[in-house]
Structure 1
Amino acid sequence: MAGQGLNSSTSVYVALYGGTAAYAGVLAAVFSGAAAVVRLLSGPLIDGRGRRIVMLFGFAVLIVGTVGPLFTHDVAPFVVFRILQGAGFSAVTTASATAAADALPASRMGEGIGYYGLGQALSMSVGPALALALVSTDPPENLFVGVTAIAVVGLSMIFLCRYEKHPEMLPEEAVYRRRLEEGESEAARTGAAEAAETTTSTEQSRMEGRPKRESIASRIFEKHALPGTLPMIVLSPAFGFVIFFVGLYGASLGVGNAGLFYTLSAVSMILVRLKSGAFMDRFAPIVILPVALACGLVAFAMLVACGTVLDGAPVRDAVFNLSGIVYGFCIGIALPLNQSVAVKNTPPERWGAANALFQLANDVGIGGACVIWGIVNDCFGFPVTICCAMCCIAASYFVARAVYPKE
């Protein structure tokens, strides 16, 4: 809610104090850039230092970034505040995704990540509306009071996340608990042999020199997560169009309430994720993904029709908003499906890096595509831009066929 609210309302707040639209665009890019950098760095920290400490650090940085604007009405320092907001948001979301995977049974990983993703759907439907309402009050700094309060609630919840020191709190089938218990049993069975081997290895190391250390690049970049990451980086530009341009597209068509598109897409996303247990872990990912992508293509085709063949305002508005329902099915399946592929294909001790790489791909795909979509739209118009986004949806299927695990 904090991240979605800040992204939707910062431009409005900046405009109230004389900032330009171009400057608001710079602030959006700064947020995305800071989030991308921190995702790369937080992955190894999550795997090495733990999930809870990274979440605590992330919320602390986010709160500093939301409290800062309360002490100045000058929009110039906002670059610094947006860096802090992006860094904190990125650290929290990466660590929390890893913690969610820890608590799930391996046999229901896809379904569980779908439930975890309900947070995204709820924040999309509540965060922007709440933030825009707050920034419209007097004074507009109420926006940052509200967002800070939300972040403080999140920070307090982190103190309940104690499973890393007390794994017995987790269900017996949880991946994190089973991994620790299996490791302890193996250590007990082979303790003497390992001690002897360690002694021998130590002597060899003294003779041969220090053992090779893991490089920084290998700690940050988790190659096993690529089967879920590569399809996502191809698909995410289509999601980026919806996030940044569907509202503008609806306004250009004269749709009465273009924001209803987002509300309906969030509702359908919630519904499909609540029902994900019926299919997410029972069928191969390459069987499920085409269904999601077909929904995406239908939704974008409905949007194209709104700007080309539908002239009547009532029909056009209805088709425009109903496309949000179909789009919600697409993102509600495709996003957790690809994330579960990335996580399942990665050793549990590297889940932090896997989630960081996956979410980085999502950030890069969405952020980078927005620049391209803006240029294409200025040159050729919305229908052509939407068709290009449909090409991304289709291409993601062929990428998935090439990189998804066989089993």
Structure 2
Amino acid sequence: MSKEKLWTKNFTIVSLINFLVVLVYFLLIVTIGGYAVEQFHASTSVAGLVSSIFIIGSLVGRLLTGRMIEGTGSKKTLVIGLILVILASGFYFVTLNLPLLLMNRLFHGVAVGVASTATGTIIAQSVPKSRRGEGIGFFSLSAVLATAIGPFVGMLFTRYTDFQMIFMFNLLLAAICLAISFAVKPPVISIPKKESKQAEKGFKLSNYLEYKAVPISFVALVVGFGYSGVLSFLSFYAKEIHLVDAAGFFFLVYSIMLLLSRPFSGRLMDAKGANIVIYPSLIVFAIGMVLFSQSYIGVILLVSAALIGLGYGNFVSVAQTIAIQVSPTHRFGLATSTFYILYDLGLGAGPYLLGYLIPITGYRGLFLYMAGVILAALVLYYFLHGRIEKELRGNRAGALQEN
């Protein structure tokens, strides 16, 4: 029996769109703060707000998108999201003061939240059920590559050109995304009449969140919280421990390990279930965090990067797959937005809350405590999903045979 095709035109185009949208996001993350300081003489704290307010907008966008997909369809939602991305990219040219820049960063976050949730939903709808873990694993690599390439491109632009060229480059990429999005043809997903009528009856939280996806999404929130300190405080930690040069390769090693392992972890999940990937991933992530907290030489720091990439990176893609698998097909959009809302909340709130602990614990102590948080997430996973994974997997296998 031959495998169902994974790399279809839909899959390739949507992955490319996701890559470009996320690339622009991370390109601006490393440059927009400097723009605020240089152009508007913003303080360091305000420059940080200019950078991070994007995440709040993204959460709002994701919250709205699940309902939008059910009402208008995933392709129309993607097109709307990309039009908003183009508008936000263009507005950077006319942000004449800090308040306007902050408003546009918030708006840009909403736009990216809509577009990226739509891409994730189209992929979930399009990949074969028997290869869903592998498919979502490959798709999520588009974001992983963007997180590595985006900051690199951003630093090149700031070194060799000006901010107007950065904004022009972003606008060009947004236009390319919109142009190729019209070639996407997601499958038609029918909504049961009963649920369609219920959705029309006023405000209901279930119209914005998929309850079945909440348990695994909550685990992702805790794991994302544990990782957020690495993302936000690596440069400060590296200066303190005198490993700035090695830290420059941290995310490169992280990305390489993900590129090498993600295809295998997706196939393993499809063949053996989520538990065989999730439990080892969280254990490896915790070990990587312990090494990270105790890094005294560059080699140890980079080994910790490899372990964190192997553990944390594979957990995220498998957890997203679980959120989709436990949800009805017609609510994949809500499942995707639910997962990212909680996951982004952990990543976004983490640096703010952990910042209060650093004066007490120091960076080493903080990252060591985060290893404990990750192990706590492992226990949480068992109670919220792991113990019933075998039963759910049996039900999915039965459904596949019937089809």
Fold shared, TM-score > 0.5 on shorter chain: yes
Q: Is the alpha carbon distance of 1:388 and 1:261 closer, same or farther for their aligned partners in structure 2, counting shifts above 3 Å?
A: same
2:268 to 261, 279, 285: 279
Aligned 8 A contact 1:51 1:99 in 2: yes
Q: Which residue of structure 2 lines up, in the alignment, with residue 132 of structure 1?
A: 155
Q: Is the alpha carbon distance of 1:48 and 1:76 closer, same or farther for their aligned partners in structure 2, counting shifts above 3 Å?
A: closer
Aligned 8 A contact 1:5 1:131 in 2: yes
Deviation, 1:214, is 6.4
Q: Which residue of structure 2 lines up, in the alignment, with residue 30 of structure 1?
A: 53
Matches of 1:149 and 1:91, distance apart in 2:
19
| 1:346 counterpart SS class | coil
Identity %: 20
Matches of 1:211 and 1:345, distance apart in 2:
20
Q: Is the alpha carbon distance of 1:131 and 1:212 closer, same or farther for their aligned partners in structure 2, counting shifts above 3 Å?
A: closer
Q: Which residue of structure 2 lines up, in the alignment, with residue 399 of structure 1?
A: 380
- Aligned-partner residue type, residue 236 of structure 1: G
Q: Does 1:290 align with 2:279?
A: yes
| 2:327 counterpart SS class | coil
Aligned 8 A contact 1:261 1:322 in 2: no
| 2:364 counterpart SS class | helix
- Aligned-partner residue type, residue 230 of structure 1: F
| 1:161 counterpart SS class | coil
Gaps of 5+ in 1: 168-175, 184-193, 199-204, 311-315
Once the two structures are superposed, residues 106-136 of structure 1 have per-residue CA deviations (whole angstroms, 9 ceiling, x without a partner) of: 1221111101111111101111110122133
Matches of 1:139 and 1:120, distance apart in 2:
26
Q: Which residue of structure 1 lines up, in the alignment, with residue 27 of structure 2?
A: 5
Q: Does 1:238 align with 2:226?
A: yes
Deviates more, 1:353-362 or 1:139-148: 139-148
Matches of 2:329 and 2:219, distance apart in 1:
21
- Aligned-partner residue type, residue 36 of structure 2: V
Once the two structures are superposed, residues 131-190 of structure 1 have per-residue CA deviations (whole angstroms, 9 ceiling, x without a partner) of: 1221333422222112222222221221111234xx6xxxxxxxx6xx79xx9xxxxxxx
Deviates more, 1:77-86 or 1:137-146: 137-146
2:208 to 207, 220, 229: 220
Aligned 8 A contact 1:230 1:399 in 2: no
- Aligned-partner residue type, residue 86 of structure 1: G
Deviates more, 1:360-369 or 1:245-254: 245-254
Q: Is the alpha carbon distance of 1:150 and 1:211 closer, same or farther for their aligned partners in structure 2, counting shifts above 3 Å?
A: closer
Deviation, 1:246, is 1.5
| 1:391 counterpart SS class | helix
Aligned 8 A contact 1:227 1:341 in 2: no
| 1:58 counterpart SS class | helix
Q: Which residue of structure 1 lines up, in the alignment, with residue 37 of structure 2?
A: 15
Deviation, 1:91, is 0.5
Deviation, 1:72, is 4.4
Deviation, 1:57, is 1.4
2:254 to 256, 265, 268: 265
Superposed CA RMSD in Å reads 2.3
Deviation, 1:242, is 1.9
Q: Is the alpha carbon distance of 1:278 and 1:220 closer, same or farther for their aligned partners in structure 2, counting shifts above 3 Å?
A: closer
Aligned 8 A contact 2:69 2:77 in 1: yes
Matches of 1:327 and 1:248, distance apart in 2:
18
Matches of 2:200 and 2:134, distance apart in 1:
39
- Aligned-partner residue type, residue 295 of structure 1: V
Q: Which residue of structure 1 lines up, in the alignment, with residue 401 of structure 2?
A: none
Structure 1 segments (4+ residues) deviating >4 Å = none
| 1:77 counterpart SS class | helix
Q: Does 1:360 align with 2:360?
A: no
Q: Does 1:49 align with 2:37?
A: no
- Aligned-partner residue type, residue 99 of structure 1: I
2:370 to 377, 383, 389: 389
Who wins on radius of gyration, i.e. which is larger?
Answer: 1
2:357 to 366, 376, 393: 376
Matches of 1:291 and 1:214, distance apart in 2:
44
- Aligned-partner residue type, residue 58 of structure 2: A
Q: Which residue of structure 2 lines up, in the alignment, with residue 58 of structure 1?
A: 81
Superposed, 1:81-120 pairs within 5 Å as 81-120=104-143
- Aligned-partner residue type, residue 248 of structure 1: F
Matches of 1:26 and 1:267, distance apart in 2:
31
Matches of 1:240 and 1:211, distance apart in 2:
35
Matches of 1:135 and 1:162, distance apart in 2:
38
Deviation, 1:48, is 1.8
Aligned 8 A contact 1:342 1:358 in 2: yes
| 1:117 counterpart SS class | helix
Aligned 8 A contact 1:135 1:141 in 2: no
Deviation, 1:304, is 1.5
Deviation, 1:368, is 0.8
Q: Which residue of structure 2 lines up, in the alignment, with residue 173 of structure 1?
A: none
Q: Is the alpha carbon distance of 1:134 and 1:211 closer, same or farther for their aligned partners in structure 2, counting shifts above 3 Å?
A: closer
Once the two structures are superposed, residues 287-342 of structure 1 have per-residue CA deviations (whole angstroms, 9 ceiling, x without a partner) of: 32111012111211111111xxx3xxxxx012112211111111231001111111
Once the two structures are superposed, residues 333-368 of structure 1 have per-residue CA deviations (whole angstroms, 9 ceiling, x without a partner) of: 100111111100000101101100100011100111
Q: Does 1:328 align with 2:309?
A: yes
